[in-house]
Amino acid sequence: MNPASTEIDPATESGQRPVGPAQLREVMSRFATGVTVITVGREHLHAMTANAFSSVSLDPPSVLCSVGHGAVMHRALTDAGRFAVNILGADQEHVARHFADKDRTLGAAQFDRVEWRPGHHTGAPLLSGSVAWLECELTAAHSFGDHTIFIGTVLEAGQGEGGSGLLFVNGRFGRPELSER
């Protein structure tokens, strides 16, 4: 059995039904995450706030983000084949809220409130004030449940002027409390 390609149905393995979406959301809200804005550029210009993001591998350098099947970003990222990840700074809660707002204007107009420049490799918006950013080429996509896990090979990465990243925990944005060592 190859665990990398085998899906196990938890309901048949244990004889019990898995937890429901509300319970999982509540439990996972206790896990502090960083906040990113995923962007795609050129004719697919779009952005989405995401905290379902992680590094995958150092060699090759790769990251993943998880996007709901019904999200505008799902189609935009699939069609573009390249994307950027903007790791937001602690003072960018307004940016996170803007790109999480499902009622915002889409297309180029959604970027009117933020400063950005197109990424060299992707054309995807790199947001000013981000503490770090990555430009990625989409190298794999794995559909599971109501989301797709997109894996991107990192083409270029950079850092902003420093500062702490924006956190999300218990349904709220926050700043890390770093102690002196």
Domain ranges within the chain, ordered by starting residue: 35-161
Q: pTM for the full model?
A: 0.85
Stretch 62-80: mean pLDDT = 97
CATH topology for 35-161? Pnp Oxidase; Chain A (2.30.110)
Query: Would you list the DSSP string of the chain?
Result: --TTT----HHHHHSSPPPPHHHHHHHHTTS-EE-EEEEE-GGG-EEEEE--EEEEEETTEEEEEEEETTSHHHHHHHHH-EEEEEE-BTT-HHHHHHHH-TTS--GGGGGTTS-EEE-TTT--EEETT-SEEEEEEEEEEEEETTEEEEEEEEEEEEE-S--PBPEEETTEEE---PPP-
pLDDT, tens digit (0-9, with 9 covering 90-100), for 80-135: 999 999 999 999 999 999 999 999 999 999 999 899 999 999 999 999 999 999 99
Mean per-residue pLDDT of the chain: 88
